[in-house]
């Protein structure tokens, strides 16, 4: 089964319950899930770029590249900004970073450190904080802080699934 492209996804954030603790738990688990996934993949396969798409290492590097955006958007919510800062939709940082030049261990450690900083920023939030809203610039829809980090968790899972897809296709 092929997954839908990230930019083709649509999101509904119409739930009313506070699921933020579960979202933070999910975000905290991404480094462990990545480490577990990569442990079973030969390193030489991690640098292959199937059909000129990102390699496994580039997918990991991309997750790290976006942590400052997530942290910045958290700051946007907390400061009452009406429109969240935009992402670089061309992913220039990832394309120019040469993540394939690094070992998996270096990339995983970098992601773990960046995500730990994000989690530490999320932990002290109040229920009032997580219901603050701002406009997501690409989706053009209002989003609560809680929704924004559910979006991040979905983005993590998108790249974890992409790594699985790359491995599956390389084994064919």
- From first to last of the 172 residues of the chain, give the pLDDT tens digit: 676 665 565 667 676 788 899 999 999 999 999 999 999 899 999 999 999 999 999 999 999 999 999 999 999 999 999 999 999 999 999 999 999 999 999 999 999 999 999 999 999 999 999 999 999 999 999 999 999 999 999 999 999 999 999 999 887 6
38 with 46: CB under 8 angstroms?
Answer: yes
35 with 169: CB under 8 angstroms?
Answer: no
Reported pTM: 0.91
Q: What CA–CA distance (Å, rounded) separates 4 from 172?
A: 21
71 with 116: CB under 8 angstroms?
Answer: no
**3-class state of residue 50 by DSSP:** helix
Q: What CA–CA distance (Å, rounded) separates 38 from 8?
A: 27
70 with 154: CB under 8 angstroms?
Answer: no
Architecture of domain 18-85+95-170: Up-down Bundle (1.20)
């Amino acid at each position: 089964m092929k997954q839908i492209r990230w930019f083709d996804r649509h999101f509904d954030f119409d739930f009313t319950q506070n699921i933020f603790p579960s979202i933070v738990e999910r975000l905290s688990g991404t480094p462990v899930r990545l480490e577990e996934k990569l442990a079973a993949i030969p390193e030489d396969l991690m640098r292959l770029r199937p059909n000129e798409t990102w390699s496994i290492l580039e997918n990991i590097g991309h997750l790290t590249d976006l942590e400052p955006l997530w942290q910045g958007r958290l700051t946007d919510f907390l400061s009452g900004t009406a429109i969240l800062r935009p992402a670089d939709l061309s992913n220039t940082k990832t394309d120019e970073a040469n993540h394939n030049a690094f070992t998996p261990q270096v990339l995983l450690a970098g992601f773990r450190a960046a995500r730990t900083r994000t989690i530490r920023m999320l932990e002290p939030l109040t229920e009032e904080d997580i219901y603050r809203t701002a406009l997501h610039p690409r989706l053009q829809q209002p989003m609560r802080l809680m929704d924004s980090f559910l979006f991040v968790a979905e983005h993590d899972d998108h790249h974890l699934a992409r790594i699985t897809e790359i491995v599956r296709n390389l084994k064919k």
